[in-house]
Every structure is written in structure tokens, then in C-alpha cells.
Chain A
Amino acid sequence: MAVTPSGSPAWVRTVSFSDYGGHQDKRDYGGMGAINPLTDISAAEESRLYSDVAAMVRTAPFCVALIQCNDSSPAAPTVEVIDMMTGVRTTSYEGDAAPAGFPSVARNGDGDFTITFDASYDDEYSVAGAYAPQTAEATPNMSDANQATCTISGQTVVVRVWDDAGVAVADALVTVEIH
């Protein structure tokens, strides 16, 4: 029988150290403690693990992606690399043909695209966790004086890349970090 994990998946951000077995009165059985550090794990050591994992879950990004705009021959942007809490993909895909579990990316114009996320993702135990982007930041991975801006609406993040004169940058390459 499959186990159902306690708590919610990381991206729901409701994590508690108690979801992992943390307890403010966590103690070694019989007060004995670890005797052999090569074979024992103490309550104190485990307690540190639970608190540290909970701390990281609170602040980790949900998604980081390297996205290549295709503007010279207009087409959906290419997702070159994407790291998500739900999975990592190191082989590229076209934004309008996203593999299951990964966001689609639609071209709006030169250096301008929309990333669309699902409203819910499953963890490894098929526990669903609701998701909606909350913050987004982007950096052009280029050598010229460009900058990128992000706006969020519902399940979508719109990224635009500009040059120093405020003109949209064609064929931009950009890393986007979304929480």
C-alpha cells in the first residue's frame, strides 16, 4: 500500500518541520543518545535536518529556465534548460510543444513571451499541490546593454527583454527565476 506523505508538496509553501518528523520535544529513546556516530543518528541531528529542509522549502524557486526567443524566423521560444521542483529537463523543447509537466511558452513579439503554468502539480507520491506564480525575475544572458522585465497574471508570467533605448530585443536569451 502506497504511503501518503504528510503535509503538502514543497511549492504549496505551507511546510512545517513537523511534516518531516520534527517535534520540539524530539528526544533519543530512553535518553540514551547516539553512542557510535558511525551507526547512530541522534534526535538532535535529525531535528537540525528537519528545520533546515523546511527553511529551504520556504525560499527555493519553483522554476528556473533558460529560454531562447525565436524572432528572426518567428516561432515559439525554445526552452533550452528548465529546472522545476517537479522535474528537470536538460534537453530543449519548443514552447508550443511542452512535454507533460513542463510549462508552455508562447511568443508575443520580439523578446516578448508568455510562460503558462498548470494550476496544480503532483509530487512523487501523486499528491497534488496547487501552484500559481508569485514572483518572477529575469536576466538577459547576452553581452549587450539589455534588461528584462516580468509581469504575473494568474498562471502566466510575461517576460520582455529591452535594450537601453527601450526597444524590444529580438532573439533574446534569458534566464527566468520564478517562485
Chain B
Amino acid sequence: MPTGALAPLPRRLGPGGPESRSPEQHARLTADVVALTRVAPLAVVKVHQELLSPYTASVEVYRGQNGVGLAHAPTLTLNGAGDFTLTWPAYWTDEYDVQFPIRIRMARASACSSFAISAPRLPVVELVSGRAVRVRAFSHLGAAIAATTTVKVW
């Protein structure tokens, strides 16, 4: 079966094996890609926060559908100890210049802490808008407390 330059796109399915992709393999690929698309998070963000006043915070890691690295990260606004807001732009643009509106509907957060159980960091996430989430971390006594936090949004 000619492929590559002899049979350019649209790609042709074949018997599988070393030189082609079979209909059965293509079907599994498309079904699994759709499944992944449905549950893939928009972004995973790690925000580092200093433990002492003025509780300086910064985005340490950003992995988003819009890109990996700080250049693609949302705007970080510090509200206080263990309290910050992440705001994404209204749209992101993919590799083909197609724009997608950002609409965050769900969010999770976990504290990254080595502290003893006497001072756990328990983060909650408030869905502020379709493109902003506010994260607050608390001690086991319910007091606001600085924390490095990983946030995941869908």
C-alpha cells in the first residue's frame, strides 16, 4: 500500500502492522481521544507561597491546555496568607489560531506541605467566575495560613 509521499492526505487505513493503521486501531484511537478530551483538565497550577508576611506568592509550575510554562500561566493576585486568586484570559488560542473561550466549571486544590499534622494546610477553591478561582488555605483550627498549593481546574 503506498503511503507517505505516494499517498498524501487524506490518510488511508490499511491492514495494520509496521506500515499502516487498521480500521480497528483507528476506531480505538478516536474513541479514546474523545474520552480523554471529555475529562482533561484545563490546567494544573502550582502556586508557591512564602510562609511569613508578606506571604509573597508566585506561580511555580503551569501546565495548561493552552501551553506549558509561566508564559501561559494565569494572573496571580495575592489576597493574604494562603489566599490568592488565579485569573485566566477570556480566551486561549490553539496552534491553529482557533480561539476558545475559557469557562472554568470545576476546581480542586491540594496543599504541598511537609508540616506536621498539627498544622495541616487545607485548601478550598471558590469558583469566582468562568475564568477565575480563589484559593484559600486553612489550618486545622480554621485560621488562614500560608501554603504552597496545587490547583487543578476543568
User: In this assembly, does B24 line the interface, its C-beta being within 8 Å of a C-beta of chain A?
Assistant: yes
B9 touches A147 (CB 8 A): no
Query: B84 to chain A: closest CB distance in Å?
Result: 13
Residue of B nearest to A127 (CB): B31
Q: Which residues of B contact A25 (CB under 8 A)?
A: 18
- Which of B55-63, B66-74, B93-101, B123-131 binds A? B123-131
Distance from A117 Cβ to chain B, minimum over Cβ atoms (Å):
14
- Interface residues in A2-34 by Cβ distance below 8 A to B read 3-7, 9-11, 15, 18-21, 23, 25-30, 32-34
Q: B107 to A141, Cβ gap below 8 A?
A: yes
Residues in B neighbouring A15, C-beta threshold 8 A:
32
Q: Does A106 contact B (CB under 8 A)?
A: no
Q: Residue-by-residue, is B86-118 near A (CB-CB < 8 Å gives 1, otherwise 0)?
A: 000000000000000000011111100000000
Check if B106 sits within 8 Å of A143, measured CB to CB: no
| A34 to B9 CA separation, bound complex (whole angstroms) | 11
B52 part of interface (Cβ distance < 8 Å): no
Instruction: Kindly state whether residue A109 has any CB partner on chain B within 8 Å.
Output: no
**CB pair B29 A3 closer than 8 Å:** no
Contact A40 B32 (CB under 8 A): no
Is the beta-carbon distance between A53 and B32 smaller than 8 angstroms? yes
Q: Are A20 and B29 in contact (CB under 8 A)?
A: yes
Chain B residues with CB under 8 Å of A65's CB are 106
Q: Which residues of A contact B34 (CB under 8 A)?
A: 124
A145, B4: Cβ atoms under 8 Å?
A: no
Q: Is A87 an interface residue (CB 8 A)?
A: yes
Considering only CB atoms, which chain A residue lies closest to B83 in the complex?
A143
CA distance A60 to B154 in the complex (A): 13
* B81 is an interface residue with CB less than 8 A from chain A: no
Contact present for A40 and B39 (CB under 8 Å): no
Whole-angstrom CA separation of A3 from B28 in the bound complex: 10
Q: Which residues of A are at the interface with B, using a C-beta cutoff of 8 A?
A: 3-7, 9-11, 15, 18-21, 23, 25-30, 32-36, 39-43, 46, 49-50, 53, 56-57, 60-66, 80-81, 83-88, 90, 123-125, 127, 137-147, 163-165, 175, 177
Known: A10-B36, A124-B31, A164-B139; 5 extra A-B contacts, CB below 8 A, are A6-B22, A25-B18, A29-B1, A43-B19, A127-B31
The interface of chain B, by Cβ under 8 A from chain A, is: 1-6, 8-9, 11, 16-36, 38-41, 105-110, 122-127, 134, 136, 138-143, 152, 154
